[in-house]
Amino acid sequence: MYIAIAGNIGSGKTSLTEILAERLGATAHYENVDNPYISDFYDDMNRWSFHLQISFLGSRIEQAIKALGQGGRLIQDRTIYEDAYIFAQNLYEMGLMTSRDFETYMNIFKLSTGLIQRPNLLIYLKASVDTLIEQIHRRGRSYEMSIDREYLERLNQKYENWVENIYEGEVLVVDVDNCDFVNNPEDADRIIEQINSRLIK
């Protein structure tokens, strides 16, 4: 069993990864947020966008290969696909990554996807910008405090397009605005029921 959790910044990926790993007896693989470029990126996105995305891509490839090599039941916080179709694509369209850098990035990404198994189930945490901002502020990472609404909205649009039109695997959408899986065990129970029904199909 290989489940990956996708969603915008502040959508609750890490929290759900932790809950599902415990409830399903799976090994959790968390997103590495210690990217050496992340603070520089939020200070100057144009200068550091390519460096940030390549660093995340390399980290994600290494994590996925290692996790899948261990076998068993896996829950992964964020996917390699999001790096390309959400974040790198958005930076390119905003003029924060050059065409040359974006093409180089996508070539590396496409080579990488051939090395990694697609998840048995992708859980997409769908959240409004208001919910994302509230949760970002609650967790209090200093480098995220300057993220603006427009940036989060653009990412949300990218996620919707990716889930609906690009991603080819099995997807479970969780409406985070109306589902508090952290504080309400019944909401977590419903997600697990849906996971089991999707994986049994």
- The pLDDT of residue 83 is above 60: yes
Region for residue 25 given its phi and psi (left: phi exceeds 0; alpha: psi -120 to 50; beta: otherwise): left
Helix axes 149-161, 129-139, angle to 10 degrees: 120
To the question of domain 2-200 being in CATH 3.30.300.30, the answer is no
pLDDT attached to residue 140: 62
Chain centre distance of CA 185: 23
Q: For residue 75, is pLDDT > 80?
A: yes
pLDDT at 62: 86
- State residue 142's pLDDT score: 63
Q: Mean pLDDT, to the nearest integer, of 138-158?
A: 80
Instruction: Convert 27-64 to b/e letters by CB count within 10 Å (16 or more is b).
Output: ebbebeeebebbeebbeebeebbbbbbbbbbebbbebb
pTM above 0.85, yes or no: yes
Q: Report pLDDT digits (tens) over 97-129.
A: 999 999 999 999 999 888 888 999 999 999 999
Mean pLDDT value across residues 44-70? 89
**Residue 179 confidence class, pLDDT cut points 50, 70, 90:** very high
- Looking only at the bridges linking them, the beta strands covering 27-29 and 171-175 are unpaired
Q: In Å, how far are 53, 99, 101, 114 from 107, measured between CA atoms?
A: 13, 12, 10, 12
Please report which confidence band the pLDDT of residue 14 belongs to, taking 50, 70 and 90 as the band edges.
very high
Task: Supply 122's token pair.
Answer: 């992708």
Catalytic residue among 77, 130, 175, 177: 77
Can 77 be counted among the known catalytic residues?
Answer: yes
Average pLDDT, the chain: 90
Which position has the higher pLDDT, 95 or 116?
95
Percent of the chain with pLDDT over 70: 96
